[in-house]
Amino acid sequence: MKKIRNIGRTLFAVGLLTFVLSLSMSHFVLTEKVAYSQLNTVYTGEGKTAYEILEPQLTQLYGKKYDSRFAFIADYRKIFSDYNAPLKAAGKWEQVIHDDKLVMVVKHSGAGLLTDQLWFRLVFLLSFIGTCIGALMIIFPEYAGKPFGIHNNGIYHSPASNGGWIGIVVGTFLILFYIVLYFFPQYITNWMLLADPVRKLFSENGEADQWFLYGFIYCLAMVVMGIRMLLKYRGNRYQQVRTFSVMFFQVCFAFMIPELLSALNQPSVDLKHIWPLHYNYFEGERIESMYAFGGIGIAMFWWGVALFVIGVPLFTYLYGKRWYCSWVCGCGGLAETLGDPYRQLSDKSVKAWKIERWMIHSVLVFVVIMTVLVLIAWQTKQDTVLGISSGMLKMIYGFLIGSVFSGVVGTGFYPMMGNRVWCRFGCPLAAYLGLIQRFKSRFRITTNGGQCISCGNCSTYCEMGIDVRWYAQRGQNIVRSSCVGCGVCSSVCPRGVLKLENAPEAGRINEDPIIIGHDGIRLKMD
């Protein structure tokens, strides 16, 4: 087994290093064909295309070879900045030309083996897949031969899972990856090239952009770490089914179905996206584009509305928020698979709980106000409503919440703050689900205080920062808006004290808890 793990570590390291080195394996030459294909559809305020206006300046770059991606991007963007500077100074913002096509211009301007030879890209893609195989070879021996049961031995002694230096390195890599993905995707176009062969499986004329690349990597990470979850929690049917569920919904609903719909010239929609998590669901342009597709687009739009208005309250009443947060959601799925080694790092303090309540409900209020203003602006054709710019609110929310919080912080801080940072402190849908779960749901976690030995496993491995032991010691049902019903607290309990239940609402919250002592005497808690 040790030999297999060593081979796995080698494959993982070589594959990851090769994947990173692929970023430097191109030089760049802008051609008239690339400039025309990307800029001839970008219309300006003058009624002309960006290519027609900027073509004289672009000719200065045609045929010029750049060995540095940074130098090529700098010269290309300078053309736009030089043209836009006097327009911005004069306040003629409607005539400003944005370099929205920069990513594809850089991608198509690349030259060299990696860009010109499909077989060479396939080799690098296989090396990346080799990274996944290496990871599996590391994972399998860790659980092979061990008896059924959940083993967390040494988790606080490893620098990878106790907030140590390995965790900091991993977290830093994730943070940098998300920053580049969201804000500087032009610097990872070679990775998009590696994903092109996968994209062509869905559409012969399709090519990968940063979002296809992200979706592909996201699915691979969930599958590899999902296999780890299946091995770790083997013998626990609830955890097995739950893990299969989040893997299925991510790979099929969030990745494959939208790609197939796009290949069929239909709206590319993740059918499990729900407002307010999908915060731009009610943007006027999006609604109009969905209706432009006709019957299927209209049906998909109202499917999402029905999920929010009917599905969320009904399913949360019956099963608690776990039906979505732990069985369906892609963010939750990544947290449960990739983030599982870090679940014990969640802060259990009362201070963290107070911060959590203020932050998550503030985000919910923000997105509600923003959505109302956006709808009013769409109907009135005026961006400013009650003196507030709806467009500016969208930009602020998209940057701070949609990008920085949910991506950079939400995933990058796994190794430092636990795996549910976004779900716990920022997700507006989790806040909406939590309010229903707290006040109008059949879901609860029941406890038997007489059997609790105060080992603390339940609290340690609660990813949502709930001090489960506090409830268990008192024999008090756990009814918290933050609980995602992952069931790990019950899984790691050595005495079977905790049980996830969907039962009638009566008696759901035990305000006068009773502990049954080891001698059988009922002890009333003050």
Q: Kindly report, residue by residue over 29-41, the tens digit of the pLDDT.
A: 999 999 999 988 7
Average pLDDT value for residue range 330-350: 94
Q: Prior bond to 276 cis, omega within 30? A: yes
128: Cβ contacts below 8 Å, ≥ 6 apart = 15, 18, 19, 194
DSSP-derived 3-state class of residue 427: coil
Domain 444-524 in CATH 3.40.350.10? The answer is: no
Environment class of 256 (CB within 10 Å of its CB; exposed 0-12, middle 13-18, buried 19+): middle
Average pLDDT, the chain: 88
pLDDT digit string (tens) for 368-384? 999 999 999 998 888 88
Distances in whole angstroms, Cα of residue 216 to Cα of each of 125, 221, 335, 436, 450:
12, 9, 17, 34, 48
How many Å is the Cα radius of gyration of the chain? 26
User: How is the chain split into domains, by residue range?
Assistant: 27-111, 444-524
Q: Which helix (H) or strand (E) holds 447?
A: strand 443-447
Query: For residues 509 and 478, is the Cβ–Cβ distance under 8 A?
Result: no
20: Cβ contacts below 8 Å, ≥ 6 apart = none
Q: Which residue has the tokens 């109008």?
A: 440
pTM above 0.75, yes or no: yes
The predicted pLDDT at position 145 comes to: 62
Residue 209's nearest CA partner among 117, 104, 279 is 104
The predicted pLDDT at position 375 comes to: 92
How far apart (Å, rounded) are the C-alpha atoms in residues 221 and 128?
Answer: 12
Q: Where are the beta strands (DSSP E) in 79-223?
A: 110-111
Is it the case that residue 515 has pLDDT exceeding 60?
A: no
480 confidence band (pLDDT: 50, 70, 90): very high
DSSP-derived 3-state class of residue 77: helix
> 398-404 long-range CB contacts below 8 Å, 24 or more apart?
398/279, 398/280, 401/279, 401/363, 401/366, 401/367, 401/426, 402/279, 403/182, 403/183
142 confidence band (pLDDT: 50, 70, 90): confident
Q: Which residue has the tokens 């959940």?
A: 150
Is it the case that residue 453 has pLDDT exceeding 80?
A: yes
Tokens of 382: 């005026």
End-to-end CA separation in angstroms for the chain:
54
Backbone angles phi and psi of 233, in degrees to 5: -105, 25
